[in-house]
Amino acid sequence: MFPIINLAVFTALCGITGYISFQVSSSANPPFGATNQTSTRYSRVSDSGSWPEYSVDIFSRISFAWMDDLIVLATSRPLLASDLWNLDEHDKGEYIYSKFSRNAYVKGSLLKLLIRLNYKILAYEYGISLIDHVFIFGGPFFINAILKAIESPNVEFFDVLKPVMGLLVASLLRTTCESQLYWVNRRIDVRIRASLVGAIYMKGLKRMQPIASHSSDPRKEYDSYADGAVSNLMSADTDKILACFRQSHYLLSVPFLLILCCGLLVSSVGWAGTIAGMLSLSLAVPVTKTVGKMIKKHRKELMQKTDERVSKLNEILNGIRTIKLFAWESHFRNEVDAARSTELESLESYLNSNMLTQLIWRCSPLLASGVTFLVRAWVSSDGEYVDAATAFTVLAMYNNVLRYPLFVIPKLAISVMELNVSLGRIEGFFMEPDLERVSQNLSNIVRNGSISDPSESIDCGFSDKASFNFGGTEAPILKDLDFMFPKGKLTSIFGKSGTGKSSLLLALLGEMKTLNGRVITPANVPQPNGKNHPVSYVSQTPYLINSTIKENILFGNPYISERYSQVLFACALIPDLESLPGGDSALVGERGSTLSGGQRQRICLARAVYATSKVILMDDVLSAVDANTADHILKNCLLKCGKGELMEERTRVLVTHAIDKCLPVSDYVCIMGSHERVGKVVATGSVEEVMDMAKKSSNIQDALNAAFGSEFLCQRPGGKIAAQGSSAVSVPQNASITPKPKTKPPKEDLSSGKPSLDAYKFYLSSAGGLHSGIMFLVSIIVAYSFGFLHDYFLKLWSDKSKTPNQESAGSSLILYSGSVVLAILALYARFRYQVYFSARASKTIYEMTFSRLLQAPLSFFDSTPSGKIMNRFGKDTQVLDQEVSSSIGETVQQFVHGITVATMISFASPVLILFAIPIGILYVPIAKKFMSITRSLKRLESSTRSPVYSAFGETLSGAVTIRAFGKTEQHLSHLLKTVDANHAAFLPLWGANRWLAFRVESVGALVAFGTGLSIAFAATGKTGSVFGSRIDPGWAGLVLNYAGMFTDVLTWLVRNSAQMEMTMTSVERLQEYTHLDQESCAVAPDFQIPESWPSPASIVFENLAIKYTRDAPFALDLPGIVEIRPGESIGIVGRTGSGKSTLGMSFMRFVEYSRGTILIDGFDCSRIPLRDLREKIVIIPQDPFLFRGTVRSNLDPTSAFTDAELQEALAFVSREELEIRQPLEFDSPISENGANLSGGQKQILSLARGVLRKLKKSRGAGGQGGLIVMDESTASLDNDSDKWMQSTIQRMINGGDENPCGPKWTCVMIAHRLKSVLDLDRVLVLSEGKIIQDGNPRQLLKMGDGPFWQLCRYAGETASNN
């Protein structure tokens, strides 16, 4: 009869599990004969796209059944971002940040502010946590009741059944509470992260840019927040704060749990055993405290080292073009490798500290239970015996309950310490000085508390002898400014390079610190709703967002077709857009990498003109365009100020060196000079007024001579070009571009399916290969085995209570004590090897990926957003360093644990082996569904994280432009939307996690219930088992303990497997970078170039053609043979976008030749190793990029030159008049990209780099010749400095016996200032990548109407040079 009852119970359990399985899988598996319409039904999981959680019934919310639709879709195909739901309004970034920003931040209040803003949801979380912790005691309490019942000789079946039913109910209630607890926990993550990211972003937009400083400078702390470090605040430090909030509910629930636990222990083992056990546990507190201090110290060191590496990497990505031009890859790789080595040292110390916390967590229950039993045996009247009920109740308490706070307390302590570090870093950033709100006399604007239309009332200028600097020192950079710009007029600012012209514009924008006086500007005047910002700004270095040309021009303003067409024509963009694939929908690339310098500058100008601002500030916008284009821009853009035209009633302030073009047409002139490295305005007024001043003042005369050159000190030309241009030229009716197919922005790779086997092989080989992997596996199995032996010896000891024998009890006690020690030692060995395993893999993988990255072609960096690369070497590297090995180890351990638990349960009752069939039917589809959705959502979460980093880095580089246009709120809104997109994947990812936990833990509860029923039957002797007629209480206790773990085993096996896949995704993403295309360095075995190459540097272009992409038109097409003779100086001229820079860069093979080749001294450039090629050809690039450091480190990063040689090169190119902001000395500090230097100073240092290369080549090769390529090398210099620099360049090129630069070299010079090529031997005129004219420049001028003559006519050079 009783076997029949057992079978009936078994059948009922099968029915229950089958029903739940059907409910789980029915939506994915339509009934037979039904049509699966997944493709239509799930084209979007919700027609409205709204968050579904709050529109379902209570059971669906508890069981997370509202996730079913998304899970089913994920099993049918990989998820797309469009499949995800929109966030609930209260979880959206704009709502969250708006609440945060309404509260004023004061020093040290960040934590309080975050708590105050989220106190309701935090209180809800804490309440659920307390309830959940009550149900944690269900396991030990009901196990004790079951074992007590079994020990009774007259036990009845229903006496055991009642606590078994209690065990089931307690498990299910705990599952429900725990699922809700951790779900609310992740929602808190979303809200705090949105607050912090938004706040850090806005601070980055508001703060005064950090200045470069010497190490002794007290502002060094401010200087530490470089762009890379700020990005780290948003990622790593924010994550640490989230981790602490995630665990904060333990502060309340853990003490509550400990009180309840002590009460249950007292009832089981008495006061003595409880006190002894708790005292042994308390030993973990000081140890944990000490370890926590170590972790805090090592964590802070690790973050500092990571900041250094990330900042260096960020700078390398920004300056990659310069690094490749000078073949500095090896040096910068060594720098990053050195930073990585120190980071890995800190990482190993940090992981070892964390290992100690893991060891404390795992070993404390073993030690405490051992001490408890020993003391209980010592003081008990039973002597050295312990009964099964007591033994396994206490074991369950320590393993399943007290292990919990032991696990939590160290982690919480570590998390609080890391919170303090991260809060300190973020608050330190928040306390950096903000840009000052500039003074603005609003008396004519503000009426009755509102602002009227500012078009007729906003002034622009300086008063009260205003002085400014960039902070950090009291020495002014600009001094005694006291003048106003005339409204609605064109003001041109002239002056020598380095006199502070760009700084004057920055002062108008409020970007400088006001030392005294006032700046009067509309830049910070609040605007009424619907009014556009009153200022537009064009920086000297073009700032473009990584989007389309059209979006860069509109810059968030509404699209007006007619105005847009006018602006395209006015800025001479229509021919460029017609030639670009996609037209104005073409992507500009990272930092405008797909465009020429002139195109970038004109797009920025178009942005400023398109905006309806009343003041336009322009910094040297004509320097990067050819003379023809510059003339077009002047006539059809800057001077179009008639009724209804683009510049009507708009105040235009133009910093320029194009004096010959701009002086005659300016309404107002500002002349700047310098005295003792302080910029001053020496004269202001109309052209006639300034000329009259010059006649009366020698100081003004000297400043004019320096700024203009003597040929400009003449009568103002009669008639204005503006009058001629504005009436003669009108916008053609077809001033728009032909619509072309839109190009799509590059997206983060989203490979479908789980990480490939190659990723696992790659990680294993990086960690030392198969041998290392086997050792790691063995260490896990051995550590687990000793833990199991500890439990088994406890069972043997409890068995002795039935047959008292002093000798056998003593031996059992010794075995038990020995098992505790062995288990602790095995755990230590396992964790120590895991740290070694992880560190070795991290070191190898990073070296491989970074080395491949530096050798990638420049086209990769042009087409790949830096945020995507930073994500690989930031977040993915952090995962590699800290999570991969632990996730693998935990997965393997849970697998071993699962096998052990299943064996123990089956051993207790063989009939439960059959129960495994419906469990498998239920468990396998649940696991598969979870793995599918987790895989998709993790990839989406990773891919949507990159745009957050990209948007952040993009903003930091263009903060001045964004502030000037008043677009901070718009850019913040864009960032918060990218954060929302990331959270739209993050929340469902954790919803799926809870979906799994609820179902698997419910299955685990049924398994424990089935085990309890089997034990109930066996204990009453009414059914057979492997134990004979009755189950032994010791075995029953051991089996029930392991059955209680079955829920955790099921949950954590799937969860750890998913976590392992998630972390391996980071490994796979890093592995992708080991397969990057590399710059071609192949050389024939017998191919060598002489040490003196190139000498004498004869050049032959053989049928050369270059295109940037396979389907693009040729950017350079030189059919036939084009020769350049040794020692010949060649000028390359042409309209913007004509292929000049492409020709110059063709020597460096930035793009492999599509056809033909270049021969230099008979050697094929396509076969020469790139390092030799780029080291031996001297290049002075168009964009002078400077690295953070000193003048010395920028001139000679590889330490290849002596101080004397550096001094010689610097003296060769320097002029004292250019050193306004700071003198160019060896140890002068330089900020990122030379932010603390003028444009002229940057180009001087760029020229000095070229001089050093020529010195090295000339002296190292026995005085032989060479090749120098100069690309727009003096574009940012004034006319006088340009003349001086041109003479310096000529001395550099021509050389001579007494010239430090050696003999004459072959020179290829790309120039927009046509005066610089008039004295060269030849000139090549390019158009659309082809040579359309070739000859001596002066002879070409004498020939009359021709391409070169036309260019010179627009530049005003024909009259003076014919």
Q: Is the pLDDT higher at 1293 or at 131?
A: 131
Judged on CB neighbours under 10 Å (0-12, 13-18, 19+), 1103 is: middle
Tokens describing residue 188: 């808190």
**pLDDT score for 23:** 39
> Residue range 1027-1043: average pLDDT?
66
**Could you give the percent of the chain with pLDDT greater than 70?**
77
Which residues touch 1058 (CB under 8 Å, ≥6 apart)? 930, 931, 934, 935, 993
d(CA 873, CA 231): 12
Q: How many angstroms from the chain centroid is the CA of residue 192?
A: 19
For tokens 């966030």, the residue is 87
CB distance 952 to 976 below 8 Å: no
Tokens describing residue 114: 């975050």
**pLDDT score for 596:** 76
d(CA 1343, CA 1325): 15
- Which of 143-147, 339-343, 445-449, 546-550 is predicted with the least confidence, judged by mean pLDDT? 445-449
Question: Sign of the C-alpha dihedral, residues 889, 894, 895, 896?
Answer: positive
Q: What is the pLDDT of residues 680-718, one digit of tens each?
A: 888 888 888 888 887 777 777 777 776 665 444 444 444
Q: How many CB atoms lie within 10 A of CB 88?
A: 16
> Residue range 179-197: average pLDDT?
91
CB distance 209 to 222 below 8 Å: no
d(CA 628, CA 1133): 11
Phi, psi dihedrals of residue 966, rounded to the nearest 5°: 70, 35
d(CA 814, CA 818): 6
Q: What are the distances in angstroms from CA 762 to CA 230, 766, 1057?
A: 32, 6, 18
Angle at 200 between CA 198 and CA 201, to 5 degrees: 60
User: With a threshold of 0.85, does the pTM exceed it?
Assistant: no
pLDDT of 1204 above 50? yes
CB distance 466 to 519 below 8 Å: yes
- 1295 torsion bin: left (phi>0), alpha (psi -120 to 50), beta (else): left
pLDDT band of residue 188 (cuts 50, 70, 90) is: very high
The residue type at 614:
K
Q: What are the distances in angstroms from CA 116 to CA 99, 109, 252?
A: 11, 10, 17
**pLDDT score for 721:** 36
d(CA 739, CA 309): 45
Which residues touch 130 (CB under 8 Å, ≥6 apart)? 252, 253, 256
What is the DSSP-derived secondary structure letter of residue 730? -
d(CA 393, CA 375): 16
d(CA 359, CA 397): 19
Q: How many CB atoms lie within 10 A of CB 750?
A: 14
**pLDDT score for 1:** 33
pLDDT, mean over the chain:
76
**pLDDT score for 491:** 92
Three-state DSSP at 513 gives: strand
**Could you give the percent of the chain with pLDDT greater than 90?**
8
Which residues touch 595 (CB under 8 Å, ≥6 apart)? 544, 588, 589, 603
**Best CA proximity match to 893, nearest among 1124, 1060, 705, 1108:** 1060
pLDDT band of residue 1218 (cuts 50, 70, 90) is: very low
CB distance 1118 to 1330 below 8 Å: yes
Q: How many helices (H) and strands (E) does the chain have?
A: 48, 23
Q: What is the pLDDT of residues 233-263, one digit of tens each?
A: 887 788 889 888 888 888 888 888 778 778 7
Which residues touch 1110 (CB under 8 Å, ≥6 apart)? none
Tell me the CB-side half-sphere exposure of residue 649, using CA atoms within 13 A. Answer: 11
pLDDT band of residue 737 (cuts 50, 70, 90) is: very low
Which residues touch 290 (CB under 8 Å, ≥6 apart)? none
Judged on CB neighbours under 10 Å (0-12, 13-18, 19+), 58 is: exposed
pLDDT of 597 above 80? no
Phi, psi dihedrals of residue 101, rounded to the nearest 5°: -70, -20
Q: Please report, to the nearest 10 degrees, the dihedral formed by the alpha carbons of residues 1197, 1199, 1203, 1209 taken in order.
A: -50
Give exposure, 862-887, as e/b (b: 16+ Cβ within 10 Å): bbbbbbbbbbbbbbbbbbbbbbbbbb
> Residue range 584-588: average pLDDT?
84
Q: Is the pLDDT higher at 654 or at 1013?
A: 654
Q: Is the pLDDT higher at 353 or at 808?
A: 353
d(CA 478, CA 491): 19
Three-state DSSP at 1072 gives: helix
CB distance 1215 to 1284 below 8 Å: yes
CB distance 215 to 154 below 8 Å: no
Tell me the CB-side half-sphere exposure of residue 558, using CA atoms within 13 A. Answer: 5
pLDDT of 908 above 90? no
> Residue range 435-460: average pLDDT?
46
Q: Is the pLDDT higher at 387 or at 737?
A: 387
**pLDDT score for 809:** 53
The number of residues in the chain equals 1362
- Which of 13-22, 609-618, 637-646, 856-865 is predicted with the least confidence, judged by mean pLDDT? 13-22
What is the DSSP-derived secondary structure letter of residue 263? H
d(CA 841, CA 881): 8
CB distance 595 to 603 below 8 Å: yes
d(CA 227, CA 1187): 13
**pLDDT score for 296:** 78
Tokens describing residue 889: 């180890």
> Residue range 210-218: average pLDDT?
43
Q: Give, rounded to a whole angstrom, the gap between the first and last alpha carbons of the chain.
A: 122
Phi, psi dihedrals of residue 1163, rounded to the nearest 5°: -95, 130
pLDDT band of residue 822 (cuts 50, 70, 90) is: confident
The residue type at 936:
S
> Residue range 174-199: average pLDDT?
90
Q: What are the distances in angstroms from CA 477 to CA 469, 494, 506, 703?
A: 5, 17, 12, 17
The residue type at 260:
L
Q: How many CB atoms lie within 10 A of CB 1115?
A: 22
pLDDT band of residue 212 (cuts 50, 70, 90) is: very low
pLDDT band of residue 568 (cuts 50, 70, 90) is: very high
Give exposure, 107-119, as e/b (b: 16+ Cβ within 10 Å): eeebeebbeebbe
Three-state DSSP at 310 gives: helix
What is the DSSP-derived secondary structure letter of residue 476? -
Q: What is the pLDDT of residues 935-975, one digit of tens each?
A: 888 888 878 887 887 777 778 778 888 888 888 888 888 88
Q: DSSP characters for 158-175?
A: HHHHHHHHHHHHHHHHHH
CB distance 842 to 309 below 8 Å: no
pLDDT band of residue 218 (cuts 50, 70, 90) is: very low
CB distance 937 to 37 below 8 Å: no
CB distance 359 to 827 below 8 Å: yes
**pLDDT score for 755:** 78
> Residue range 1293-1313: average pLDDT?
70
**Best CA proximity match to 844, nearest among 1059, 1063, 1066, 1070:** 1070
Q: At what angle do helices 698-708 and 687-696 cross, to 10 degrees?
A: 130
> Residue range 523-529: average pLDDT?
50
Q: What is the pLDDT of residues 1088-1139, one digit of tens each?
A: 778 778 878 889 999 999 887 777 778 888 888 888 888 888 889 887 778 8
CB distance 996 to 1013 below 8 Å: no
pLDDT band of residue 763 (cuts 50, 70, 90) is: very high
CB distance 1128 to 1323 below 8 Å: no
d(CA 894, CA 1166): 56
- Which of 289-303, 1245-1259, 1281-1295 is predicted with the least confidence, judged by mean pLDDT? 1281-1295
- Which of 454-463, 468-477, 670-679 is predicted with the least confidence, judged by mean pLDDT? 454-463
pLDDT band of residue 1215 (cuts 50, 70, 90) is: low
CB distance 500 to 544 below 8 Å: no
**Best CA proximity match to 524, nearest among 515, 542, 543, 537:** 537
